[in-house]
Structure 1
């Protein structure tokens, strides 16, 4: 995974409450999650044989 450049939204106590990412980085995360989901589905199907 490439380097991420998050920005944080914090509350009055400086506790992180939300993250803002550039759209390109968010799309990369979604693509990688989809690939991981496919890998898990494949592994599950193969283990049932």
Structure 2
């Protein structure tokens, strides 16, 4: 999964990964602050 502050930079990285042949990609369009504020979501 790719993430960034607004999803724009993550889209570029996701596109590069797809062009490199990676599959099963996903983009979280929220910010790290949004993800990190929920105790039910994983952080690694």
TM-score under structure 1 length normalisation = 0.32
Structure exhibiting the larger radius of gyration computed from Cα positions: 1
More helix by share: 1
TM-score with structure 2 length normalisation?
0.35
- Structure ranking higher in strand proportion: 1
